Amino acid sequence: MQKWYDYFLEADAYDWSDQKIPVPRFRLNSLLSLKKYLDLIHIRQCLIRPFLKTDNYPLVEARELLPSFESDLYEYEDLPGFSLVALARPLEYFNEIFQFDILHSRWAKIITTHGEACPVPDTISHTNVSTFQSRLPKNIQERFKDELGGTDIAELYNYPRVLNFILNMDRGHVMSMDTRNEFYLSGVYASFPSYLDPELKRFGLQIKKFKPNDNLRYELNRNFVYQFLMELYGYPVVSERRTSAALFSRRLFKMGERFLIRALGQTDRTITTLYNTGDCKFYPALEKVALARVETKKKDVLKFLKENGYFLDEEKKAVILRVRYKQHQYDPDNIREERALSVLRQEVIHPRTGEVCSQLNIIKDTFFMTLKLNDIVKGEFSGRIKYKREIIENTDTHEKRLKFLYAWLSKHQRRIIGYSDEFYAGVTKVLDNYLLNPELFEDFQALNDLYQEVWQKYSYIRQARKIRILQDILERRYEDKKINYLQMLEHSNSVLEELKFETGNYFPDIITRAIATVEKIANDRYLLRNYVNREENSLTQYGQEVRERYFRMNFLLNELKTIRRVKREPISYN
Least trusted range by pLDDT, from 99-108, 166-175, 284-293: 99-108
Least trusted range by pLDDT, from 236-240, 524-528, 551-555: 236-240
pLDDT at 257: 93
Residue 200 lies in a domain: yes
Read off φ and ψ for residue 101, nearest 5 degrees: -90, 125
Q: How many CA atoms lie within 13 A of 448 on its CB side?
A: 3
Give the Cβ contact number of residue 148 at 10 Å.
19
Residue 129 lies in a domain: no
Percentage of the chain modeled with pLDDT above 90: 35
Same domain, 315 and 426: no
Residue 87 lies in a domain: yes
Residue 519 lies in a domain: yes
Round to whole Å and give the CA distance between 3 and 17. Answer: 19
Residue 495 lies in a domain: yes
Mean of the per-residue pLDDT values for the chain? 85
Same domain, 332 and 473: no
Contact 327, 321 (CB under 8 A): no
- Long-range interactions of 134-141: CB distance < 8 A, separation 24+: 134/101, 135/101, 135/169, 135/171, 135/188, 135/189, 136/165, 136/168, 136/169, 137/168, 140/165, 140/168
Q: How many domains does the chain have?
A: 2
Q: In the predicted model, is pLDDT for residue 115 greater than 60? A: no
pLDDT at 331: 80
Strands (DSSP E) found in 354-397 = 356-357, 385-387, 390-392
Same domain, 287 and 396: no
Residue 55 lies in a domain: yes
Domain that holds residue 563: 366-568
pLDDT at 4: 59
Residue 155 lies in a domain: no
Round to whole Å and give the CA distance between 194 and 85. Answer: 14
Mean pLDDT calculated for residue range 20-38: 81
Three-state SS at 25? coil
Same domain, 288 and 432: no
**pLDDT of 379-408, one tens digit each?**
888 777 778 878 888 888 899 899 989 988
pLDDT at 114: 53
**pLDDT of 433-447, one tens digit each?**
999 999 888 888 999
Q: In the predicted model, is pLDDT for residue 53 greater than 80? A: yes
Same domain, 196 and 256: yes
What are the Cα distances from residue 186, in Å, to 84, 94, 153, 217? Answer: 11, 14, 10, 44
Round to whole Å and give the CA distance between 334 and 113. Answer: 62
Q: In the predicted model, is pLDDT for residue 490 greater than 80? A: yes
Same domain, 406 and 554: yes
Q: Residue 534 — very low, low, confident or very high, per pLDDT cuts 50/70/90?
A: confident
Mean pLDDT calculated for residue range 132-149: 90
Q: Residue 343 — very low, low, confident or very high, per pLDDT cuts 50/70/90?
A: confident
Q: Residue 573 — very low, low, confident or very high, per pLDDT cuts 50/70/90?
A: very low
Residue 357's beta-bridge partner residues?
A: 348
Same domain, 350 and 398: no
Q: Which residues fall within 8 angstroms of residue 194, CB to CB, at 6 or more apart? A: 240, 243, 244, 246, 247, 248
Q: In the predicted model, is pLDDT for residue 90 greater than 80? A: yes
Give the Cβ contact number of residue 241 at 10 Å.
20
Cβ-in-10-Å burial (0-12, 13-18, 19+) of 94 comes to exposed
Round to whole Å and give the CA distance between 566 and 557. Answer: 14
Three-state SS at 426? helix
**Pairing mode of beta strands 60-61, 318-327:** unpaired
**pLDDT of 261-294, one tens digit each?**
999 988 889 999 999 998 888 899 999 999 999 8
Q: In the predicted model, is pLDDT for residue 12 greater than 70? A: no
**pLDDT of 297-312, one tens digit each?**
778 888 888 988 889 8
